[in-house]
Amino acid sequence: MDWDNARIFLAISRAGTLRGAAATLQLDQATVGRRLATMEASLGARLFLRTPSGYVATPAGELAATAAEQMERAADRLQREMQGIDNRLSGTVRVATSDTMAMHFVVAAMQRLHTRHPDIRIVLSASTQLSSLTRRETDIAVRLVRPTDPELITRLLTKRDMGLFAAKSYLAERGAPRPGTAMAGHDLVVYQWAVTARHGEALCGEPIGQARVAMEVNTGLLLIEAAASGLGIAELPIHMAESDPRLQRIWPERSESYSVWLVLHSDLARTARVRAAVDAIVESFPAK
């Protein structure tokens, strides 16, 4: 199986469409279709059923996916190992984090990195989805979740606290909730279940079963903005929310702690440009 065709096959399998695979690989759709046809011809098997909802793997396609994923892991490992002996302070470093971490810490770190090493090109992605370090979707991640993969190196960057906040305008109109009432009579802004399931049960230890969820969001900046706009009460990072003049803290005695982790693959730990980026990030996270 040719690896170049196999990676296109994997992209189709994961995206479910030629268009989606083409966008992922930054190729045109016609090229993706031709490469799939070439692979099917070389294997003498049909790999996908073309359905109205997308491309669905046949039994042969499922077997091919297993083999292609093994090839992908081998190719990724080779590339990481080659990067691991790269002493150049140039080239591309991919960093993944959330939008709030990017705005309050990581962008400043990348500015510091650029000043020191202007030949390093930074690709910064902000998302609540966890990028894969083993598949080289990113080189460094700044996360609120500590991964368990033994091939990944983790470092605790800082610990922070979250508290309950609402817009001053909301509190002037509605008043503050009473502890022990499960937020009865109040509106909330929470994360979508896919981002953090615990927001569906409690905020800062207070059950929310009697409240009305006014909005669900998928990023931290949206959560802060929605609360500051008066949509409802939200659980927010204290160091961020206290600096917003539109917000007021509720129940200052209550808080929830969280940890911020820096994560990178062990194969990249000796790469000069990755180490330089790591150093810049660590400097941007002062200890609590």
Mean pLDDT of 10-33: 90
Q: Of 46, 66, 84, which residue sits at a domain end?
A: 84
- The answer to which of 16-20, 68-72, 244-248, 280-284 has the lowest mean pLDDT is 68-72
In the chain, the percentage of residues whose pLDDT exceeds 70 is 92
Looking up residue 43, the CATH number of its domain turns out to be 1.10.10.10
Q: What is the mean pLDDT of the chain?
A: 88
Task: Write out the H or E segment, with its range, that includes residue 250.
Answer: strand 247-250
Would residue 55 count as lying in a domain?
yes
Phi, psi of 105 (to 5 degrees): -135, -50
Percent of the chain with pLDDT over 90: 54
Q: What is the mean pLDDT of residues 136-144?
A: 86
Joined together, the tokens standing for residue 250 give 């509720």
- What's the whole-number mean pLDDT along residues 143-170? 91
Report the pLDDT value the prediction gives residue 268, as an integer from 0 to 100.
80
**Dist CA 16 CA 98 (whole Å):** 27
Q: Is residue 257 very low, low, confident or very high in pLDDT (cuts 50, 70, 90)? A: very high
Tell whether the model's pLDDT for residue 272 goes beyond 70.
Answer: yes
Tell me what pLDDT residue 107 has: 95
pLDDT for 134 equals 56
Assigned token pair, 108: 């400043």
Task: Look at residue 192 and tell me if it is in a domain.
Answer: yes
Better-predicted residue by pLDDT, 253 or 85: 253
Asked, for residue 196, whether it belongs to a domain, the answer is yes
Rounded to an integer, the average pLDDT of 107-119 is 95
The answer to pTM > 0.75 is no
Q: 105 pLDDT exceeds 80?
A: yes
What is the model's pLDDT at position 71?
Answer: 82
Q: Would you state the pLDDT for residue 128?
A: 67
Identify whether 287 is part of a domain.
no
| Phi-psi sector, 186: left (phi>0), alpha (psi -120 to 50), beta | beta
pLDDT of 80 > 70? The answer is no
CA distances for 106 relative to 28, 113, 122, 134, 242, angstroms: 33, 10, 11, 22, 20
Q: How confident is the model at residue 169 (pLDDT cuts 50, 70, 90)?
A: very high
Residue 109 lies in a domain: no
The answer to whether residues 165 and 78 belong to one domain is no
* pLDDT score, position 176: 95
CATH of the domain at 218: 3.40.190.10
pLDDT of residue 81: 61
Q: Do the domain assignments include residue 282?
A: no
Domain of 68, in residue numbers: 3-84
Residue 48: enclosing H or E segment and its boundaries?
strand 48-51
Q: Please indicate, yes or no, if residue 266 is contained in any of the structural domains.
A: no
Confidence (pLDDT) at 84: 54
Q: What is the pLDDT of residue 196?
A: 78
Instruction: Give the model's pLDDT for residue 53.
Output: 83
145 within a domain of the structure (yes/no):
no
Which DSSP helix (H) or strand (E) runs through 229? none
The total number of structural domains in the chain stands at 2
pLDDT at 72: 81
